[in-house]
Structure 1
Amino acid sequence: MSIEGEEKLQQTSGITQNKRPEARNRIGLMEKLRYIKNNYWLYLFVLPAVVLTIIFKYLPMYGVLIAFKDYSFRKGILGSDWVGFHHFERFFNAPNFEQLLFNTLQLNIYGLLLGFPVPIILALMLNQVRKAAMKKNIQLFLYAPNFISVVVVVGMLFVLFSPTGPVNKLVVAFGGMPLSFMSEPEYFRPMYILSGIWQGAGWASIIYVAALANVDPELHNAATLDGASLLQRIRHIDLPTIRPVIAIMIILAAGGIMAGGGDKAILMWNEMNMEKSDVISTYVYRIGFQQANYSFSAAVELFNTVINLIMLFTVNFIVKRVNDGDGIV
């Protein structure tokens, strides 16, 4: 073959190779459009949720501009003066910044470490109940606290742990002195975390109970015949089954590590336990609603959200790396 023929052949093959990705993309797009056309009713079901998410989650995001402006009702969000990172610097230089950050992290990390395993344990215990009627009654008993309002739960705490409440009467009956549970700072975190576990653990166990329903009973029967104990069957059969669910729940919980403490902390907060109960959520409430400093409170809350986002991606990365190895369990 001549040199000119070889050059023409190389040019032709190069053009063909350049067209192949475009052809593949075109075919992939046509397949996607065909799939959407054949399953359009699925997208119609999703459409209302997408519309509501856009309206109530994405459109209000323009309000984040308040954090970078000296907001004025008269001028509006777009007309207010731009101040950049002034409010963030003011928050970082605040004398109580470290206390707020430390209290928020402690409250939520302790709550995650103590509260996260409880729904898993409850689900594993419920999975061992063989009588359907008894299992339903136990589940109803465990799920009920979730439907109690946070305001009512805090009200119950004030009644039970007041100086003349049932708990202090027991303390006095055993020879002790009445304790100020709701005003002493050292009691704030235990009461907050334990009451949260009581209220939400049963409801949070639903997803694990549903995941355990996928376990093949034949696996347990075979393991029992081989002499495996109950704990061995839970470790080698039940936990590996719900491992993906545990990973997802860890990621979601980590994404809200700084968001906890909102309504309940505000309801339990007072001047006497402020040393431990003053978290970022209560600080935003005081600055934003009581002092009407909307720009500064928006900057503090935006900082809180950014930390949550960083935690979400960090934990997601760690969980992926762990799952590529030996797994979580």
Structure 2
Amino acid sequence: MLIILNYIPMYGITLAFKDYVPSKGILGSPWVGLKYFERFFNSFSFSRILSNTLKISFASLIFGFPVPVIFALMLNQLRQEKFKRMIQTITYAPHFISTVVLVGMMMVFLSPRSGLINNIIQMLGGEPIFFMAKKEWFIPLYILSDIWQNTGWNTIIYLAALTSVNPELYEAAIVDGATKLQRIKHIDIPAILPTIVITLIFACGGIMNVGFEKVFLMQNSLNREVSDVIATYVFEQGLIRAQYSYSTAIGLFNTIVNIILLITVNKIAKKLTDTSLW
């Protein structure tokens, strides 16, 4: 199944180096070398699309990655199991909301006419804001909604790592007079550091993979200047305009960048922390 589903389809990558003609098929289409890569690099959209993709990815990594770690450390300090389970359930639940429903909720809550957020702004004497149409709000809304939806779910792996900590370490630290912050710093963080490093490597290896579905649903003509990313551009060129070879070349470029980042970050992590994927 692994070979059939993951390796055999890789033959389709050759489309990036061919002038694909459906009637001739992949084998019969002529080779054109790096023509479509050059076309992408020289296109007027290249710098904007690449910039938008990197901005959203790095902003998500910087602001979103630490939140599950901090949340797991906070949950680990709770001693009332019922309260802890209730908090976990509440924070896990948004992960199971589909992206379509999530964006629909955002549109309802942020509506300039009847949205809850704008009603609060007006009660405080402010003017309503059309959040979904303002380009300066696109990235903050994307990141905040992502944090809200995935923090609880991403916390699971860190909580699992914290369960391996020997309780005697906490007891010894308490006897020695260590505060909660000191116990977190000297016991909890070292315990989950290898897990943090591994998840960070994976996150950096997918830095170019901005989720298509959410960006596409949040995108409109007023915020497209900042919301057009590689994934939406591939969709437009490949499925709407039927530029199969061109869209394949763009996707291959995206994958190569991710592989380079993955290998680089893995090497850096291995040198600094002795923890790596290989």
- Please tell me whether residue 264 in structure 1 is matched to residue 214 in structure 2: yes
- Please tell me whether residue 73 in structure 1 is matched to residue 22 in structure 2: yes
Cα deviation for residue 219 of structure 1 reads 0.5
Cα deviation for residue 324 of structure 1 reads 4.3
Post-superposition CA distance 1:75-111 (Å, at most 9, x none): 1111111111000000000012111111100100010
d(CA) in 2 for partners of 1:128, 1:324: 28
Contact in 2 for aligned 1:255/1:309 (Cα 8 Å): yes
- Please tell me whether residue 128 in structure 1 is matched to residue 77 in structure 2: yes
d(CA) in 1 for partners of 2:177, 2:206: 42
Equivalent residue number for residue 254 of structure 1: 204
Residues 134-213 of structure 1 mapped to structure 2, 5 A cutoff: 134-164=83-113, 165-213=115-163
User: RCO higher in 1 or 2 (8 Å CA, sep ≥ 6)?
Assistant: 2
Post-superposition CA distance 1:188-219 (Å, at most 9, x none): 00000110011011100100000000111110
d(CA) in 1 for partners of 2:221, 2:109: 20
Residue type of the partner of 1:123?
Answer: A
d(CA) in 2 for partners of 1:114, 1:204: 14
Equivalent residue number for residue 45 of structure 2: 96
Cα deviation for residue 168 of structure 1 reads 1.2
Deviating above 2 A after TM superposition, structure 1's stretches of 4 or more consecutive aligned residues are: none
Contact in 2 for aligned 1:161/1:168 (Cα 8 Å): yes
> Residue 182 of structure 1 aligns to a residue in which SS?
helix
Contact in 1 for aligned 2:57/2:207 (Cα 8 Å): yes
> Residue 107 of structure 1 aligns to a residue in which SS?
helix
Unaligned runs of 5+ in 2: none
Cα deviation for residue 312 of structure 1 reads 0.4
d(CA) in 1 for partners of 2:245, 2:125: 52
TM-score by length of 2: 0.96
Q: Please, which moves more after superposition, 127-136 or 219-228?
A: 127-136
Contact in 1 for aligned 2:210/2:229 (Cα 8 Å): no
- Please tell me whether residue 114 in structure 1 is matched to residue 63 in structure 2: yes
Unaligned runs of 5+ in 1: 1-51
Equivalent residue number for residue 287 of structure 1: 237
Bigger Rg over Cα = 1
Identical aligned residues as a percent? 54
- Please tell me whether residue 316 in structure 1 is matched to residue 255 in structure 2: no
Q: Please, which moves more after superposition, 182-191 or 133-142?
A: 133-142
Cα deviation for residue 71 of structure 1 reads 1.1
Cα deviation for residue 53 of structure 1 reads 2.0
Match among 228, 242, 254 for residue 192 of structure 2: 242
d(CA) in 1 for partners of 2:274, 2:199: 18
Contact in 1 for aligned 2:134/2:223 (Cα 8 Å): yes
TM-score by length of 1: 0.82
d(CA) in 1 for partners of 2:198, 2:59: 19
Cα deviation for residue 311 of structure 1 reads 0.6
Equivalent residue number for residue 299 of structure 1: 249
Residue type of the partner of 1:108?
Answer: S
Contact in 2 for aligned 1:162/1:180 (Cα 8 Å): yes
Question: How much is the aligned-residue C-alpha RMSD, in angstroms?
Answer: 1.1
